Amino acid sequence: MYRVLKRSYATTFRAGQPIFETRPHLIKPGDLTPGISALEYYHRRVKLAEKIPRGSLAILPGSSVKYASGSVFYPFQQNTDFYYLTGWNEPDSVCIIERPENADDPADHVFHMAVPDSDPAAEQWEGERTGVQGAQDIFNADISVSNHNFPSHLDKLLRKYTNIYYDIGGANSASGKAVNFFERMFPSTVSMPDKRQDRADIEEILRNHKKQGFNVKSLTPLIADLRVIKSNAELKIMRLAGKISGRAFNQAYAKRFQTEKGLHSFLEYKFISGGCDKSAYVPVVAGGEHALCIHYVRNDDIFKDGDMVLVDAAGNLGGYCADISRTWPVTGKFTPAQAELYEALLNVQRRIIRECTVEKGNSLNSLHNLSVDLLTEELRNAGFQDLQSWEVAKHLYPHYIGHNLGLDVHDCPLYPRTSNIRKGQVVTVEPGVYVPDDERWPAQYRGIGIRIEDDVAVGEDINVVLTAEAAKEIVDIENIAANGITSPLEEEVVDIYSL
């Protein structure tokens, strides 16, 4: 059965996140989130319903607001599995996909949402909520309830089902002490994380029904199998995030920064002013020997003449991440030793990117093993005498070649690395070389750390580098450093759909 999605139009739309009616510069007609249509979200739920047998419930709680200290909260980050199925980006909500016993067609599933009520007092403090009715009118839930009524709603559903898909475990979003402190300080704010919505309390409801003999299976692998293959719409939004992020790197090459913090701030500004929503992750901006630390994020030192800087940073757009690493000399000019080591690593990255097609029959695991062998050969040619592959993997290149990319930077981590890469998969290709100050290694390379990373969309016999704008050839980096950007780039926040 094909279900027609309808939006119930009202005179005034109120929503707790951007929708076309309130933010037409961000959301196109028919889309729920940037670049992703309501119909695509529906098809994702149908595909999940196909993976569970008739007579099943899939229960997926969203995230709650997390607190740094007391009442100081972090920016909200939705559970990405929840977001993938719903597009809903408000806290303290639960999604249920119900496939009744008589639902031979997965399209006959029932989409339930439990969400916070509209509440004028809370909204005065925290902003608008989409509310229970909005979950149906805008997000196409078949049944929506207040999250305060969710326990009784789930209790009734569980009386009919024993085949449950749900992931046991997970931490609460905030400690009870933090919640109580905030409620004491601001008693009019009533939308603190509802303890009944966290995983522990869903599990308590499940325990109350244990006499029914539940068969509880993990939901995450089923969703991961869907998420790992990107749709055309997802690839377009990821290409745009890569394009914006790559342009920011080129603009950074053209400037001379005195500090890691200055470069960090410049890139984040350019990601957002270029059209992304935020940084995809905490950037690495590592000058000199700091680049030997793979996840150096202090970003608080000064640059010295002769240093290279390793930057791992990119933007996030509509929930989708880009992921780029580049390394370049702070002076804008490579020394002979820097150039030789850099070119050795770039040769490895070029080769691995060429291997990222279905036709080649590679897995992430085989790509990694190949990258170690290739880097060993390149480093021998660069003067690392008698170097063995195990030494490279242990001392000079201790991380993996890459990972899946999507709504999470390390997307679908449970998806097997031994599985052959598939059409529509997006993987990072990020070989690195990190030479400690140790007599075992050639003196001219000691203290240098280099990583070169791009995002690659896998095709049948070709692939697409989603981050191609970020220059990585030595001649291009040096040319930009010497002459600046020759093509015009936007200096203000832009309409993402004009790019």
CA 147 to CA 432: how far, in whole Å? Answer: 47
| Weakly modelled stretches of the chain, pLDDT under 70 | 1-12, 170-200, 211, 487-499
Amino acid at 230: K
pLDDT of residue 23: 94
Instruction: Indicate the burial class of 128 (C-beta count within 10 angstroms; 0-12, 13-18, 19 or more).
Output: middle
Instruction: Indicate the burial class of 282 (C-beta count within 10 angstroms; 0-12, 13-18, 19 or more).
Output: exposed
pLDDT digits (tens, 9 = 90+) for 369-407: 999 999 999 999 999 999 999 999 999 999 999 999 999
Q: What's the number of CA atoms in the CB half-sphere (13 Å) around residue 329?
A: 22
pLDDT of residue 189: 33
pLDDT of residue 101: 94
pLDDT of residue 239: 98
Q: Is 263:285 a contact under the CB 8 Å cutoff? A: yes
Q: Tell me the residue length of the chain.
A: 499
CA 214 to CA 9: how far, in whole Å? Answer: 41
Identify the DSSP state of 453.
B
Residue 282, token pair as written in the block: 């905490």
CA 398 to CA 436: how far, in whole Å? Answer: 12
In 3D, which of 455, 448, 457 has the Cα closest to residue 422? Answer: 457
Q: Which pTM value belongs to this model?
A: 0.90
pLDDT of residue 5: 56
Instruction: Indicate the burial class of 370 (C-beta count within 10 angstroms; 0-12, 13-18, 19 or more).
Output: middle
Backbone angles phi, psi at 143, to 5 degrees: -135, 130
CA 267 to CA 322: how far, in whole Å? Answer: 13
In 3D, which of 5, 126, 120, 41 has the Cα closest to residue 76? Answer: 126
Amino acid at 227: R
**Which residues have CB under 8 Å from 244's CB, separation 6+?**
271, 274, 275, 276, 315, 317, 322, 499
pLDDT digits (tens, 9 = 90+) for 408-434: 999 999 999 999 999 999 999 999 999
Residue 486, token pair as written in the block: 């020759």
Q: Is 381:445 a contact under the CB 8 Å cutoff? A: no
Residue 187, token pair as written in the block: 């008693």
pLDDT of residue 211: 66
What domains appear along the chain, each with residue ranges and CATH number? 31-226 (3.40.350.10), 230-498 (3.90.230.10)
Amino acid at 267: L
Amino acid at 331: T
In 3D, which of 325, 425, 340 has the Cα closest to residue 378? Answer: 340
In 3D, which of 188, 223, 213 has the Cα closest to residue 51? Answer: 223
| Inter-helix orientation angle 38-51/220-227, to 10° | 130
Instruction: Indicate the burial class of 373 (C-beta count within 10 angstroms; 0-12, 13-18, 19 or more).
Output: middle
In 3D, which of 391, 376, 481 has the Cα closest to residue 431? Answer: 376
In 3D, which of 204, 247, 173 has the Cα closest to residue 487? Answer: 247
